[in-house]
Chains A and B, each alone.
Chain A
Amino acid sequence: MDKFTSLTGVAAPLAMANVDTDKIIPARFLKTIKRSGLGEHLFADMRYADGGAEQPEFVLNRPEYRRAEILLAGENFGCGSSREHAPWALLDFGIRCVIAPSFADIFHGNCFKNGILPIILPPEVCARLMDDAAMGDNARITIDLSRQVVIAPDGEEIHFEVDAFRKHCLLNGLDDIGLTLAHAPAIDAYEAQAPAWQPVISGI
C-alpha cells in the first residue's frame, strides 16, 4: 500500500447523498481477478451513455476535474455492497481522498486498506468545500494527514478526526497482515483454549 502523508489537488464535487457501491462500480465490472484497471469503469452508469460515449456533464468528464485527486461527496457515501472494487476504482482513477459528511462502514474501512483517506466533516463544512470545488481546477485543496487538517483554497484550516491506528498505517504505508502476524503467539494461545465441541470443516 502507498503511503498517504499529504496531498494538494483538484477536488471534484459530487453532490449526491447515498452514493452506493453499485454506482461507484456496477457489478458487471467485478469479474476481474486483478485490483488494477478499474478506473475506466468508475461511476460507469453515470459517466457513460449506453453506447459508451462520455456524458459530458458528469463531473469527472469535465476538463477541470479529469485529474481530480479528491472527491467531495454527500452523506452515506459508499453504502451497499462490501466490494473493495469501489476503492480500487477510485484509486485507479487517481482519487486519494474522499470528503463527506458520513460514510457507510465497510467502504470507510476499505479505503484505509488501499491508501485512500476518507475524511468526515460536518455537512455545512462539506457544503462550503463543495462550493470551493465547483470553482474548478484553480481551487486546490490540501490534505495534511499528520496535522489532521484540510486546507481550503482560501487558506482556512479545517481539523478532522481520524482513528490513530489507521492514521499510523496510512502515514507509513503499513501492511496490516504483517502487523497482525506479530501477534501470532497470542493467536496460537487463543486457538489452544477453543472448546472441544467447536467443529472444524473436513470431508467436504
Chain B
Amino acid sequence: MTSSRTLFDKIWDAHVVERLPDGTCVLYIDRHLVHEVTSPQAFEGLRLAGRPVRRPDATIAVADHNVPTEDRSGGIAEPESRLQVDTLVQNVAEFGVPYIPVTDARQGIVHIIGPEQGLSLPGMTIVCGDSHTSTHGALGALAFGIGTSEVEHVLATQTLLQKPAKNMLVRVDGVLPDGCSAKDLILAIIGKIGTAGGTGHVIEYAGAAISALDMAGRMTVCNMSIEAGARAGLIAPDQVTFDYVNGRPFAPKGDDFAKAVDYWRSLPSDPGAVYDKTVVLDAATIVPQVSWGTSPEAVMPITGVVPDPAAEQDAARRAQLDQMLHYMDLRPGQPLAGLKVDVVFIGSCTNARIEDLRAAAAVAAGRRVAAGVRALVVPGSGLVKQQAEDEGLDKVFLDAGFEWREAGCSMCLGMNPDRLTPGQRCASTSNRNFEGRQGPRGRTHLLSPAMAAAAAVTGALTDVRELA
C-alpha cells in the first residue's frame, strides 16, 4: 500500500474483512438495497440452503421497476408484475427485511430513495442488484451493481468476494455554460471515453465543474458511470455532501453526525494519489448533448449532424453505425435539431429528482406540449412528487399538457405498462438508448430534463438555449 491513496483505495481498505492469498478480498458491505426484479431467486437460494439474512438492519427493500405509475389503488393489473412485487412482499416478511410499501409516500426508485432517506452515506460500501447503484457514489460511497448470485451472497454473509478495481480520474475543469446540466456533462464524458472506457475501473470525478454541482447533479453524473463501462463512480464528499446528508431520516444525528463528518473529511484522495488512467475535459466546451444511436457513446451536441458511416475506416465499426442509423431511422448528415419526437419521458434514477423536475418545469412553464406528442413526468419518489406539488410544479406540467405520474422506473425500461410502441421516437432523460430498451423497436434519444421539456413543447429535438 502506498502512502498516498485515492478515495476508492480508502473506502476499499476500510472494508476489507480478509485478504485471501490470491488477492481476492472478503469485502464488507454496509448497505444492501433490494428491489423486486433481481431478488426473488436470491431469497429462494437462501430458503433452499436454510440460511437467514445476516444483517436485515443493513438492508432495505422497495419495489420500483414493475410498479404502475398511474392510480395504484387497484393494485397491479399485469399478473407477472404483480407476482414479482407480491414475492418481494412475502420475502421481506419471511426474512425480516425492512421494506417500503408501494403505497408509502417514501416509495420510489431505489437509487433516488437511498440518498433521500439518508440510507446511503459517505464512506459506505453500497450494493444493489442493479447497475445504476453507481448513483450513490455521488455521496462519496463505493456503490456498485451486482448480479442476483451476489445479492444472495450479500444477504447471507454481508460481504462480497472481490478484487479491487483500478483507479480512473475524470477531471472536469472550468464552468458549465448556461443551458448545460450534469446530464450534458456525463453524456459528453461517455461520448469521449466510450462505453468500455471505464471497464475494470472505478471513476473518480473531480475538478471545478464537478465540485460546483449540487448533489442531484453529482448523482446524475455518477449514475451513468456504468454507461462508460465503469464499475462505480465516485465524488469526494465535501460540505455540499454533508449539508445534503444532515437531517435526513436515517443519517446519524447530533454528536454521531459530527463524528461521522470527522471521518468523512478523511476520505478525499490524498495529494499525489496515483490513478491508472486520467481523462481531462473542459466544461466550457460542452453544449447540450443528445444521443443519436443505440449506444450511450453515440452522442453529440444538439448542434451536430448524424454521422456518416462511410467515413468510418473500420469495417465492423462501420457496420455497427449502419445498423444504428437503420434502427433509429436516421440519414447521414441529418441535423439532430428538428427531428420530430412522438414521446417525451422525464424520469428515471438518472433525472427524476426535484432539481430535475424544476429544470424541466422552467422550460415547460407557459408553454404547451406540441400536438401529437405524449409527454410523461414520473417523479423519482413519492416524496419528490409531494415536494413538486408543494412547489406547484405539477400544475405547471399539467397546464402544459404533460402527464403527472406516480413514482417508479417507468419508461426507462418499460417493465411496467409505460412503454414505447414500435417505431416511436422518444426524447428521454433516462440512461440507456439500447435497441428495444423503452419498448420493442422504440427509438430513444438521451438528453437532459431541460432538453426533454424543450422537445415536448416544440415536438422535436431542440436546442434548449434557443427557448430562453
Contacts and interface: CB of A to CB of B under 8 A. Distances in A.
Interface of A: 15-18, 20, 22-23, 26-28, 30-35, 45, 50, 74-76, 79-84, 87, 102, 104-106, 109-110, 113-114, 163-165, 176-177, 179-181, 183-184, 186-187, 190-191, 195-202, 204
Contacts of A183: 17-18, 26, 159
Given A33-B44, A82-B130, A197 B259 contact: yes
Given A22-B437, A50-B422, A165-B20, A199 B195 contact: no
Nearest to B41: A35
B153 interface: yes
Interface string B440-455: 1100000000000000
Contacts of B251: 199
Contacts of A28: 414-415, 440
A199 B422 contact: no
Interface string B144-177: 0111111011001111010100000000000000
Given A22-B437, A26-B440, A177-B157, A31 B250 contact: no
A180 B157 contact: yes
Contact of B436 (A22, A106, A110): A22
7 contacts: A31-B415, A45-B435, A83-B37, A83-B38, A163-B22, A180-B26, A187-B157
A186 B17 contact: yes
Given A17-B316, A106-B131, A79 B196 contact: yes
B181 interface: no
Interface stretch (B5-13, B57-65, B214-222, B271-279): B57-65
A43 to B, nearest CB: 11
A113 B150 contact: yes
A147 B105 CA distance: 56
Most chain B beta-carbon neighbours within 10 Å: one of A17, A23, A80, A195: A80
A113 B147 contact: yes
A52 to B, nearest CB: 12
B191 interface: no
Contact of A15 (B129, B231, B316, B422): B316
Interface string B415-441: 100000010000000001011110011
Interface in B327-366: none
Interface stretch (B79-87, B303-311, B394-402): B79-87
Interface string B17-45: 11010101010101000000110110010
B252 A197 contact: yes
Contacts of B59: 201
Interface in B356-397: none
B207 interface: no
